[in-house]
Chains A and B, each alone.
Chain A
């Protein structure tokens, strides 16, 4: 986690932000990245929200990890979200570890990293913190907001808080509230981290002995939930890892074991364990319907944005039913809504991989809405 800070763009949010937990923060950094150019009319801006393990580096090469941005399949020159045409903004979430205010930041009070002294944050806090970016770029109304998984939760929260700030919205494989199974899976990940002795109640920054094993197990468990049974079987089956027979040990005999271990190992190099705790907690606390008198319907009452809800048939982490509940609420509130379930074996991760049906739908929606938005003015 040796970040080259010079590669990270930041704004300092000076406005005091009262968090849901009761604490107030101010003068904190929000890191962001942009792609493409904002046009003169300022009507081609798209705000993307990242998922639990994501960051602001959506496209091109991530300058910190030197790997591809997490949504290169969808965002870039000539891609579904075309950076030749649109101006893309993505912020690292509050509580994150890629330059935004998070638990590894130094606490001015004692000069030590916050660790568990960092306030517990919510999805709503994340959105309020990011809103300053629109002011920064002087954008009155975005063409669209996009977000998959936890990005979709942020998106719904954004739309509910700021109904006039976007022309369209595409929540992908999302949910309006975490259910028991989703909370359970997050708890499993948190327990994996917290039971690593090196976690040390969140104080591990000083000695640089980070709870790698715990965080890697958390990532492995999460990774399984991002893929479908069929997808896993087709890709790995019972194939052995560079060997002809069982070795009768507990090393990675199977390819799937080796794959998961690899996913765990590469993750710990770029992600902070405490950030994982905080962000996953924010997801668990998320229940948009609780914020409004009239439940989820109230969240979108008289909403004028044009919504496209997308789910994936083999996603069992945020299944189609979660998306349909959003569609139903939007319809009940009279909002403008389109909905498509993409048939695929690629599970929850379908939105990150090359899934042509999904990418075509997204592109068609954005391009046609850009035309409508331009003509509206």
Chain B
């Protein structure tokens, strides 16, 4: 399981109710159920991945998170998790509002556009960056709304969303992010994980 999922799993208390939005083949959900006895559900767009989840006995529904989160009641889950997909929605701010409505807390991870490799790609080569966490070219990337850790931090500030915890990942290294080290971590982290409410 990738490092990011391990960090997310650590943030989630045992036996909580969790919705994994864009759960893919269900790797995270499966781990949460097995390791922490978490009541984990998922929603996924791709039919093939949904089938994989169902075959593992996971409760995953096929659907588009952009338009179908409305079916869940307010505070239906202790946590809603969104791993590296916020930037792929047409209206990320709407999706975020929905997540904050259906989850008591929300865990969001974002591929950081402020990462130094991304910056140097544009600065020195004048080309759209292709990195480990941004593997697609400009013409086939699903990402519509890229942002940096700093962008998302300021966005939460402005929308008065409480940031309980922010974690930066650089390869295997993880570090805590706060207002003071934000500039530095925005440069050095490949992925940012926000626990918000």
Contact = CB atoms under 8 A, between A and B. Distances in A.
A331 B53 CA distance: 17
Contacts of B58: 338
B104 to A, nearest CB: 14
Interface in A341-377: 341-343, 357, 360-361, 363-365, 367-369, 371-372
A338 B47 contact: no
A72 interface: no
Contacts of B73: 331-332, 334
Nearest to A309: B61
A331 B72 contact: yes
A306 interface: yes
Interface string A319-334: 0000000011001101
A336 B29 CA distance: 14
Label chain A's interface by main secondary structure: helix
B57 A340 contact: no
Interface string B46-76: 0100110111111111110000000111001
A339 interface: yes
Given A337-B61, A338-B60, A368-B57, A332 B71 contact: yes
Contacts of A308: 54
Contact of A331 (B47, B54, B71): B71
A339 B53 CA distance: 10
* 8 closest Cβ pairs, A-B complex: A364-B55, A368-B57, A339-B61, A328-B71, A338-B59, A336-B59, A331-B71, A338-B54
B56 A339 contact: no
Nearest to B42: A338
Contacts of A372: 57
Contact of A361 (B41, B51, B61, B63): B51
A361 B50 CA distance: 9
Interface in B68-108: 71-73, 76
B45 to A, nearest CB: 11
* Residue from A339, A341, A357 with most neighbouring chain B CB atoms (10 Å): A339
Contact of B57 (A309, A331, A360, A369): A369
26 contacts: A306-B57, A327-B61, A328-B71, A331-B71, A337-B59, A338-B50, A338-B53, A338-B54, A338-B60, A339-B60, A339-B63, A340-B50, A340-B54, A342-B47, A360-B51, A361-B51, A361-B55, A363-B55, A364-B56, A365-B54, A365-B55, A365-B57, A367-B55, A369-B57, A371-B57, A372-B57
B57 A341 contact: no
A330 to B, nearest CB: 9
A327 B71 CA distance: 9
B51 A364 contact: yes
Contacts of B50: 338-340
A269 B62 CA distance: 41
Contacts of B62: 339-341
A327 B97 CA distance: 22
A306 B57 CA distance: 9
A251 B181 CA distance: 84
A367 B60 CA distance: 16
Contacts of B41: 336-337
Contacts of A363: 55
A327 B47 CA distance: 16
B159 to A, nearest CB: 26
Contacts of B55: 360-361, 363-365, 367-368
Nearest to A168: B57
Interface in B14-49: 41, 47
B11 to A, nearest CB: 23
Contacts of A328: 71
Nearest to B71: A328
B184 to A, nearest CB: 42
Contacts of A327: 61, 71
Nearest to A365: B54
A342 B47 CA distance: 7
Q: Which of B53, B55, B58 has the most A CB atoms < 10 Å from its CB?
A: B55
Contacts of B59: 306, 336-338
Given A338-B53, A341-B47, 11 more contacts: A306-B57, A337-B61, A340-B50, A341-B62, A343-B47, A357-B51, A360-B51, A360-B55, A361-B54, A364-B51, A368-B57
A360 B60 CA distance: 16
Contacts of A338: 50, 53-54, 58-61
B171 to A, nearest CB: 35
A332 B77 CA distance: 11
A340 B71 contact: no
A359 to B, nearest CB: 11
